[in-house]
Amino acid sequence: MRKIAVALVLALLVGACGDTAEPNTTDATTAAPTSSAATTTATTEPPVTAAPASTVTTEPPPITEGYPVTIAHGTGEVTLDARPEAIVSISPTATEILFALGAGNQVKAVDTQSNFPANAPITDLNAFEPNVESIAELEPDLVVMSFDPGDIESGLTALGIPVIVQFSALSIADAYAQIQQLGAASGHQGAAAELVGDIEATIRELNDELAGRDEPLSYYHELDNTFYSVTSATFIGELYAVVGLDNVADPADSEGFGYPQLSPEFILEVDPDLIFLADTKCCGQDAATIAERPGWDQLSAVQNGTVFELDDDVASRWGPRIVEFLQTIAAAIEEYEANRTE
Amino acid sequence: MTAQPDTVRPATLRWGWMAAGLGLLIGAVLLGVVVGPAKMGAGQVLRELFGSLIFDSPSDLTATEQAILWELRLPRVVLGGLVGAMLAVAGGAYQGVFRNPLADPYLLGVAAGAGLGATIVIVSAGDGSTALLPLAAFVGGTVAVAAAYVIGRSIGGRSATTIILAGVAVAAFFTAMQTYLQQRNLDTVRQVYSWILGRLTTTGWREVLILLPYVIVSAAVLLFHRRLLDALSVGDAEADALGVPTGRVRAIVVIFATLGTAAAVAVSGLIAFVGLIVPHTVRLLVGSSYRSLLPLSMVFGATFLILADLAARTVASPAELPIGVITAFVGAPFFGLILRTSRRVIS
């Protein structure tokens, strides 16, 4: 089922690229990329001192092989005439994907939350409250964002800056699609296919190895210390399902919102086999702090030492570190089994 | 000014209403302890409660169920009662001291100040250690009210209106700073909101122990002043003529209502409407004499918040709803109904 979805997304993507590539290729090679609009108008105006022709020749020639491409993304389509060399990412996940694809040297600036990989060029751009002017000032030739609080996309588009919007992934298929989009946009389709293949392989392998239990283990995934959690309907929940774990938060979400706030009584009552803390950074929680919560010393996960501390970022992004996340969960299951057989 | 019968009659505490209120409170406590997301038999729960308190005969509850009862449910019910009583009595006292039916415990900026204090802690503690949050909320709340009071007095002397207006200005200023901090740090916005909407999820008995001394002291002081509040309700000039030190009474009531409210807000967040609708409901039921109004407000406030928290725990069970949403959603229409069905006029 999932594979069909991925194949569909891929087909759509390739289809979209193929359709527009043919008629536009000639246009793109004759006319230089977006900056050319400014230079051509400049040539008609004599007072400009610097010769426009010379400024164009001093820049490295834009890579146009395989371009233009049209990318279908979260809010529509965007066409790139040449390989972007000054990408601004205000999405931590997109930053991770771009660097994983080998497009890191095309990334000019990233937002304050893009803390991985360490060599990502962090600036004070705010991912939650981006500002059109402060982004435009960086003269990007592509902006990637995961959230548009207002008219950021239309503002940048009006300035001639292409924008790709990639909302939070709701499924593994969404994550694959976004990797493919960024691969196509940055000129690293091959690497994108490889990365998706790696993730798929990990998922298949762990699914075969761990999902076949007669009695599935139950887990509680904690988002913060007020007991917000995720259900199986979320992207993270889907990853847990891959390794055959059963989510205790599912009954708490009749509306299908995906992120219910659980009653502390309920957590004690269901007594999950495994507890995963995705609030180690945000809220300073660890196995010791949760053991001190009222009544939590009764939880078998606390008593058996099957409380696992996750990296908040890895457990909330839908990029290349999905693999790392899955391996952490798999290791946790193995530790649980080892404890039990002792 | 046509005096209402209730204010003219030398009103003592209305014992009938008090008995009814206490009966409701006991019922709410029992209901709150018996009902919850974790299903435990009512008989078992009551036997566990009273058995271990009186007879020392253990029930059949498992260790986990005992932990749920003693460390989660019971402290939460007690905390709800304390917070509800405190907010309601503070609201009633504020309405008296400012002779303003719209006054509630948050009138002079407690909420805005506490919100700023809480937001500063949540935002600046990068690792999310929020141990300082109650203290910061308490300090923020009291500082805001002190500022409002000082500014109000420096402008308008003893007039209640200038103090209220100063409170509005201070609250707007503190809210602006709080919103700025919150928006600059949107990664912690959920924690800030979850505090602002109010919650009674306890960490055991700790919150109860923090709040209890404040409630005892400030409720005692407010109840002690209930006759003076009656005198004050006829107007500053008339109260002066009766020999009531209006300025001092107002200052004392504001100080202790603020201390109690700030302590309640510090452990439970901003729970809306309790301080407004409970005293008014009581007023419409038993009349506007503060001798009855303040003690009954405490009892009804405790009952109301325990039931509201019961709804917060069970309506979407096993998920939780923010209690501030329940108090406003249930409280506002109920209040409207009370207003409509009552022929009496708010004094």
Question: What SS3 string covers B262-307?
Answer: HHHHHHHCCCCCHHHHHHHHHHHHHCCCHHHHHHHHHHHHHHHHHH
Under DSSP, the state recorded for A228 is B
Q: A265 and B73 in contact by Cβ < 8 A?
A: yes
Instruction: Name which of A121, A96, A170 is nearest A319 in CA terms.
Output: A96
Span B130-154, mean pLDDT? 88
Which of B64, B205, B317 is the best substitution to test chain A (most A C-beta atoms within 10 A)?
A: B64
DSSP H helices, chain B, are 5-8, 15-34, 42-50, 63-67, 74-97, 110-124, 133-156, 160-184, 189-196, 206-224, 226-232, 236-241, 246-268, 274-286, 290-314, 323-341
Phi first, then psi: give them for residue A65, nearest 5 degrees: -65, 130
pLDDT of residue B169: 93
- CB-based contact B58:B120 (threshold 8 Å): no
Whether the pLDDT of residue B202 is over 80: the answer is no
Beta strands in A60-145 (DSSP E): 69-73, 76-80, 87-90, 107-110, 142-145
**CB-based contact A141:A33 (threshold 8 Å):** yes
Cβ pair B38:A252 closer than 8 A = no
Residues of chain A found within 8 Å of residue B36, distances taken between Cβ atoms: 263, 265
Question: Please, which pLDDT band fits residue B5 given cuts at 50, 70 and 90?
Answer: very low
B330 pLDDT above the threshold of 90: no
Which of B191, B199, B325, B326 to probe the A interface (max A CBs under 10 A)? Answer: B191
> Could you list the pLDDT tens digit for every one of the 342 residues in chain A?
444 555 544 444 444 443 433 333 333 333 333 333 333 333 344 444 444 444 444 567 788 888 899 999 999 899 999 999 999 999 999 999 999 999 999 999 999 889 999 999 999 888 777 888 889 999 999 999 998 877 888 899 999 999 999 999 999 999 999 999 999 999 999 999 999 999 999 999 999 988 877 789 999 999 988 899 999 999 999 999 999 999 999 998 887 788 998 998 899 999 999 999 999 888 888 999 999 998 899 999 999 999 999 999 999 999 999 999 999 999 999 999 888 776
A214-218, B27-31, B198-202, B217-221: least confident range: B198-202
Cβ proximity of B191 and A224 under 8 Å = yes
Q: What is the CA radius of gyration of chain A?
A: 23
**Beta strands per DSSP E along A162-227:** 163-165, 218-222
Q: Are B347 and B1 in contact (CB under 8 A)?
A: no
Q: Which residues contact A92 (CB under 8 A, 6 or more apart)?
A: A110, A111, A113, A114, A115, A116, A127, A146, A313, A317
Q: How far is CA B226 from CA B6, B223, B239, in A?
A: 15, 5, 14
Confidence class of residue B49 from pLDDT cuts 50, 70 and 90? confident
**pLDDT score recorded for residue A55:** 46
Q: What is the pLDDT of residue B346?
A: 47
Interstrand relation of A87-90 and A246-247 (parallel, antiparallel or unpaired): unpaired
Tokens linked to B215? 């409630």
CB contact set of A7 (below 8 Å; sequence gap of 6+): none
CA distance linking residue B276 with residue B265, whole number of Å:
15
Q: Mutate which of A220, A265, A279 to test chain B, going by most B C-beta atoms within 10 A?
A: A265
| Chain B residues close to A226, C-beta within 8 Å | 191, 194, 199, 201
Residue A22: phi and psi, rounded to 5, are -60, -60
Pairwise CA distance, residues A10 & A293, whole Å: 47
Please give the residue of chain A at the shortest CA–CA distance from B316.
A252
Write down the mean pLDDT value for chain B.
85
Given this model, what pLDDT does residue B158 score? 64
Q: Do A295 and B67 touch (CB under 8 A)?
A: yes
Identify the closest residue of chain B to A262 by CA–CA distance: B319
> Which residue in A has a C-alpha nearest to residue B66's C-alpha?
A295
Distance CA B210, CA B49 (A): 23
Please state the rounded mean pLDDT for residues B69-77: 90
Q: What is the pLDDT, as a whole number, of residue A215?
A: 85
The beta-carbon neighbor of B319 closest among A260, A293, A298 is: A260
- Residue A16 main-chain phi, psi, to 5 deg: -60, -40
Q: Which residues contact B31 (CB under 8 A, 6 or more apart)?
A: B306, B307, B310
Is the pLDDT score of B59 beyond 80? Answer: no
Q: Which tokens belong to B157? A: 């002397």
| B255-302 residue pLDDT tens | 999 999 999 998 888 888 899 889 988 988 888 889 999 999 999 999
Reduce the DSSP state of residue A186 to 3 states and report it: helix
| CA dihedral (A246, A251, A254, A259) positive or negative | negative
Q: What was the pLDDT predicted at A133?
A: 87
Model pLDDT, residue B127:
57
**Distance between A274 CA and the closest CA of chain B, angstroms:** 17
Nearest CB among B67, B202, B319 relative to A261 is that of B319
* pLDDT of the residue at A288: 93
Nearest-5° Cα angle at A214, A210 to A220 = 65
Task: Measure the CA–CA gap between A193 and A201, rounded to whole angstroms.
Answer: 12
Q: How confident is the model at residue B132 (pLDDT cuts 50, 70, 90)?
A: confident
pLDDT at B134 over 90: no
Q: Does B188 touch chain A (CB under 8 A)?
A: yes
**SS3 state at B199:** coil
Q: Which B positions 109-148 lie with beta carbon below 8 A of chain A?
A: 125, 127-130
Tell me, what DSSP letter sits at residue A212?
T
d(Cα A91, Cα A110) in Å, to the nearest integer?
8
pLDDT at B318 over 50: yes
- A263 and B202 in contact by Cβ < 8 A? no
Nearest CA to CA, how far is A210 from chain B (Å)? 28
Annotate A38-75 with DSSP letters as a single string.
HHHHHHT-TT--S-HHHHHHHSPPP--TT--EEEEETT
| In the predicted structure, residue B54 carries a pLDDT above the cut 70 | no
Q: Check residue A4 and give its pLDDT.
A: 52
Which among B220, B228, B42, B193 is positioned nearest to B115, based on CA atoms? B193
B126 — pLDDT class (breaks 50, 70, 90):
low
Residue B313: its chain A contacts at CB < 8 A? 263, 265
Q: Is B58 exposed, middle or buried, given 0-12, 13-18 or 19+ CB atoms closer than 10 A? A: exposed
Task: Tell me the mean pLDDT in the region B192-216.
Answer: 84
Specify the range with the lowest mean pLDDT, choosing from B119-133, B217-231, B232-246.
B119-133
